[in-house]
A = this chain, B = another copy of it.
């Protein structure tokens, strides 16, 4: 394979892409996960590849929701592990969340590899990779319904990143508070979640952990005020409007 030309104007994007490709070679990422990453790249591009003020508002609500939860769980798939295992482990610590491996294209070998990757990044305990601990989430077909008894099965809040719409809906219908990180503000996951952070997971994980640390000393009533005043549908609408404005500026400058 060719190396990334240093003077290529999209070298940074190509380097992040390389992390995914490395993750694929290490058996963490599914082939379909490479394609899904590309979708994210495109939406990040039209967001201006930055954490917007709107996203920061969602991050604050998400941090409050994680701190309010009794059993928060971070659902980890191959892409998330390949892109930001360390940041994900740090967020789990900062928000007292469990980490559970959960895959769209299931494979026991890949589950184990993702768990190892999280452990190498400092995780003390990773759920979702032992067959004995598996149970089922209602309302989902095929392998995708499998969750961990000690994790998502008993979670009151679940953070999903780069997640499929079906599973997000199943979690929401089953009464969990769902926090999603999704670059596409039009996706079913974005619309179904209670709090959607429209941002690149790599950037969002770091900021979300920082926000959890900042809010850690706050009283429950204060945290509740943050989540109660957050309107996900309105925030998503504003995100879409911002993208439209960004594109209109780009069209004028084209």
User: Could you list which residues of chain A lie within 8 angstroms of chain B, going by C-beta atoms?
Assistant: 1-3, 5, 7-10, 17, 20-21, 24, 30-32, 34-43, 45-46, 104-107, 141-144, 165-166, 184-186, 188, 191, 233, 236-238, 240-241, 243-245, 247-248, 250-252, 254
Contact = CB atoms under 8 A, between A and B. Distances in A.
Nearest to A22: B31
A36 B38 CA distance: 6
A37 to B, nearest CB: 5
Given A2-B104, A38-B42, A244-B245, 5 more contacts: A35-B35, A35-B41, A37-B38, A41-B42, A236-B251
Q: Which 10 A-B pairs have the closest CB atoms?
A: A38-B38, A42-B42, A240-B251, A34-B34, A35-B38, A244-B244, A244-B247, A38-B39, A39-B42, A237-B251
A31 B38 contact: no
Nearest to A106: B2
Do most interface residues of chain A lie in helix, strand or loop, or is the interface mixed?
A: helix
A39 to B, nearest CB: 4
A233 B253 CA distance: 10
- Please indicate which of the listed interface residues A21, A30, A39 has the most CB atoms of chain B within 10 Å of its own CB: A39
A163 to B, nearest CB: 13
Given A5-B141, A42-B38, A105-B2, A247 B254 contact: no
18 contacts: A1-B107, A2-B104, A2-B105, A5-B141, A5-B166, A9-B188, A21-B35, A35-B37, A38-B38, A39-B39, A42-B43, A236-B254, A237-B251, A237-B252, A240-B248, A241-B247, A243-B244, A243-B247
A34 B10 CA distance: 17
Given A17-B32, A38-B40, A39-B38, A241 B248 contact: yes
B240 A142 contact: no
A46 B166 CA distance: 20
A105 B14 CA distance: 12
Given A2-B104, A3-B142, A21 B17 contact: no
Contacts of A35: 17, 20-21, 34-35, 37-38, 41
A60 B141 CA distance: 45
A9 to B, nearest CB: 7
